[in-house]
Amino acid sequence: MEIKNARFLMSNSDVQKCPEPTKPEFAFIGRSNVGKSSLINMLTGQKKLAKTSSRPGKTQLINHFLINEAWYLVDLPGYGYAKVSKKSKEKFQAYIVDYVLKRENLYCLFVLVDSRLELQKIDLEFINWLGEKEVPFALIFTKADKLGANKLGKNISDYKDQLLEYWAELPPIFVSSAEDGTGKEDILEFIETSS
């Protein structure tokens, strides 16, 4: 799939105010600073479509982008560590849950994890919660360019082994790098065949 046009549509914190659920939706979530916005920019070929920041917790709203006038790409707030107050963190955690469980046109939730790290407790809890709630999701390992091929392969293999202690089978898995474009074709092809 080729993304010919991508434009920001709206931001909000209320699922009821999201666009009409008439088009397929693919959302991106992960711990704060995992590289969601950078990955969105890489996939769409636009460097400034999603706002990036070195400060964790930059994304604090549900951000909708209209892609090829045919489907939505959604940037969700990160979960876990973020430099925001406890009250605002609880607030956006609540509307993340609301969005994930109530958005009827959500075809897939991409859970981003840092390929340099071992399985984090908060990621495991979130992944297992998605399983319990039967939310369709896929995993994307980010920042693949930061590791050599052997270390990257070992980290991903270890991650899968740990997940298989909880799961009978694994979700779709992608490896990406916003820096060098790794994973772009695979992720877009998955979106195309899923919608």
Better-scored residue on pLDDT, 19 or 14 = 19
Task: Give the start-to-end residue ranges of the domains of the chain.
Answer: 6-194
pLDDT tens by residue, 85-113? 566 445 547 788 889 999 999 999 999 99
pLDDT tens by residue, 141-152? 999 999 999 999
**Which amino acid does the sequence have at 44?**
T
Residue in the block written with tokens 């605002």: 88
- The fold for domain 6-194 equals Rossmann fold (3.40.50)
With a CB cutoff of 8 Å and minimum separation 6, the contacts of 10 are 17, 18, 19, 63, 64
pLDDT of the residue at 14: 87
114 pLDDT more than 80:
yes
Say what the pTM is. 0.91
| Cβ neighbours around 93 below 10 Å, total | 13
Percentage of residues of the chain with pLDDT beyond 90: 74
pLDDT tens by residue, 40-98? 999 999 988 987 755 544 457 899 999 999 999 999 987 764 444 566 445 547 788 88
Name the helix (H) or strand (E) containing 12. strand 6-12
Question: Percentage helix, strand, coil, to 5, in the chain?
Answer: 35, 25, 40
Percentage of residues of the chain with pLDDT beyond 70: 89
Region 27-39: mean pLDDT is: 91
Q: How far is CA 103 from CA 97, 100, 136, 149, 183, in A?
A: 10, 6, 12, 37, 26
